[in-house]
Structure 1
Amino acid sequence: MILRNLSTLLICALVQIGSVFFASTALGQSQTRERSTSELGIGIGGIVYKGEVAPRYRFLSNRPALTVFYKKDLSRALVLRTSLLLGRVKAEDAFYEGELPLADYRRATVNTSVLELAAGIDYNFLDYYDFRRRIRWTPYFTLGVAGLAYNNKTTAVNPKIIYNQDNNEPYRTAFAIAVPIGVGFKYALTHNLNLGAEFGARVLFTDTFDNLSTQNEQVMNPSHNDWYFYNGISLSYTFYRINCPQF
């Protein structure tokens, strides 16, 4: 039910943003913008996983993450973005011992390194580059698609519970597709420098992110895919290009 509602939300968001994109394109054909911008930035923050070993979002489980991104405006509202995210995820059943019987039984720990390459669009709710405003800022919504490579290892106090053997399995490398969706805030420190903050979820199309779904089905929930989240702050530099009028 949750995934169905999320799919409906994503479709509606794409339709709404698409309508704004085509409207902005039509307007751009009749009125040339004075300037266009591109933006290069770096962000630091944390990523946290939600799945079998971490059934609830837990802020204290965040592990350091680093991201670099490039943005190019398509219109006054829409911005094309690409990004590269590198981080590490750790989740432990020990955080939920005494609360969840499965955590008490499984006693597993997940360690994962993540490399994510994403592309998508930002929708700025305010005209960020209107220099007539004394203070320039805008909240924004972001939506995209991402491919990720991850290297992980899931260990248990009693490996037989998960792996049906006496030893935990070694690290493994796998690939997955995700849908990044989130919200952010951007504030102009100077004419070129921007300070930003962003929180986003990555909806994975797999349940193998924690390396449990291919093991003993008694220790996992096969009906829910895994998620991970990123939250952080960023500093970026805006490059301006003056558009010559068309005659």
Structure 2
Amino acid sequence: MRKSVLYKVSGYLLVILIIYWVFSSPVSAQSFKKKRYTSYGFTAGASNYVGDLDANFRTVQETDYYVGGTYNYRYGPQVTLRGQISYTNVHGKDANSRDEARFYRNLSFKSYVVELSGHIIIDFFENSGVWTKRQIYTPYMFGGIGVFKFNPQAQLNGTWYDLQPLGTEGQGLGALGYDNYAADKYALIQICLPFGIGYRYKLNSHMDLAFEIGWRKTFTDYLDDVSTVYAQPDDIVKQSGPVAAKLADRSNEWNDPNISNGYLPDNQRGDPTDDDWYILTGLHFTYIYRAGGVKCPKFR
């Protein structure tokens, strides 16, 4: 339900951005040409993940952090082009879930996410003047495209293991002649579509501060290493060893006689119909560097 709403919101927002970009007046952009400027920024805040291992509610337990840098080019009275690089941490843990089935599944993960993306930012209020006369405050929306690298890990007996090489759902066994398994492991570099909203405030002639919420729609269901069904444990052991089999099914770690001792092959492990998302919520601090450099005061 949450993901279907995000799909609709992202679709509508991207359509609005494209329509605005295509049909915005070239005359307005041309008249603004001599007033264009660049700025550099720093951003930091909270990160959250939406996927097979999220707990269906947002708490401190489900929140991590991100940091990043931006380069911004003010293109027109309402349009800014932004390049952003960010380092994010995300994690999920079934033990935090209120859903009984997820709780007993008992899977968990953490991953870094390094993202490089480009955004089109559209201010709600127009500023046709020079950069020093920009709006004191303005809400805005943005959309774009990016590429990101991730690496899901899980902990067993105090040691962290990279999950992708282990093929916890039998990925890679198809290439070895095993039926019903994927031939290749999932890629750790993927495409994302960033979009969101923000509110920017002018601190002084050179500095802006903004609060922003940005969603990242990905095209992978393996940000958390969980997507399809349980594999045959013996098959996983043959390819990657007993540790991989233990990390693939952790339901028996509860040591509870009322809980089934592990899942059977082909039992549902994740939901392959919904790709994973991550969300960045934080502050953006930018410093405007006008064309020709910032002039320093003269001392006599």
Give yes or no for contact 1:35–1:240 (8 Å, CA) kept in 2.
Answer: no
Give the structure with the larger strand fraction: 1
Give yes or no for contact 1:50–1:57 (8 Å, CA) kept in 2.
Answer: no
Structure 1, unaligned runs of 5 or more: 158-166, 243-247
CA distance in 2, matches of 1:196, 1:95: 32
CA distance in 2, matches of 1:71, 1:134: 15
Name the SS of the counterpart of 2:27 in structure 1. helix
Counting only pairs closer than 5 Å after superposition, residues 115-154 of structure 1 correspond to structure 2 as 115-128=114-127, 130=129, 136-154=136-154
Structure 1 length-normalised TM: 0.81
Structure 2, unaligned runs of 5 or more: 165-186, 231-266, 293-300
Give yes or no for contact 1:48–1:57 (8 Å, CA) kept in 2.
Answer: no
Give yes or no for contact 1:25–1:75 (8 Å, CA) kept in 2.
Answer: no
C-alpha change, 1:215 and 1:156, in structure 2 (3 Å) is farther
User: Which residue does 1:104 correspond to in 2?
Assistant: 103
Cα deviation for residue 174 of structure 1 reads 1.0
User: Which residue does 1:70 correspond to in 2?
Assistant: 71
Q: Which has the larger radius of gyration?
A: 2
Does residue 51 (structure 1) correspond to residue 51 (structure 2)? The answer is yes
Name the SS of the counterpart of 1:225 in structure 2. coil
Name the SS of the counterpart of 1:218 in structure 2. coil
Structure 2 length-normalised TM: 0.67
Give yes or no for contact 2:141–2:197 (8 Å, CA) kept in 1.
Answer: yes
User: Which residue does 2:219 correspond to in 1?
Assistant: 205
User: Which residue does 1:245 correspond to in 2?
Assistant: none
Match for 1:118: what amino acid? S
Cα deviation for residue 63 of structure 1 reads 1.0
User: Which residue does 2:92 correspond to in 1?
Assistant: 91
Give yes or no for contact 1:122–1:143 (8 Å, CA) kept in 2.
Answer: yes
| Residue of 163, 166, 181 corresponding to 2:195 | 181
Cα deviation for residue 54 of structure 1 reads 0.3
CA distance in 2, matches of 1:108, 1:28: 54
Name the SS of the counterpart of 2:152 in structure 1. strand
Count of aligned pairs between the two proteins: 231
Identity %: 23
Does residue 226 (structure 1) correspond to residue 276 (structure 2)? The answer is yes
Which deviates further from its counterpart, 226-235 or 46-55?
46-55
C-alpha change, 1:2 and 1:241, in structure 2 (3 Å) is same
For each residue in 1:178-231, what CA deviation from the matched residue of structure 2 results, as whole angstroms up to 9, or x when unmatched? 111110111110101111111011111111110012662522112211111000
Cα deviation for residue 69 of structure 1 reads 0.7
CA distance in 2, matches of 1:27, 1:49: 42
For each residue in 1:72-129, what CA deviation from the matched residue of structure 2 results, as whole angstroms up to 9, or x when unmatched? 1221111111100102112111211xx2122222112211011011112011111256
C-alpha change, 1:188 and 1:154, in structure 2 (3 Å) is same
CA distance in 1, matches of 2:6, 2:134: 38
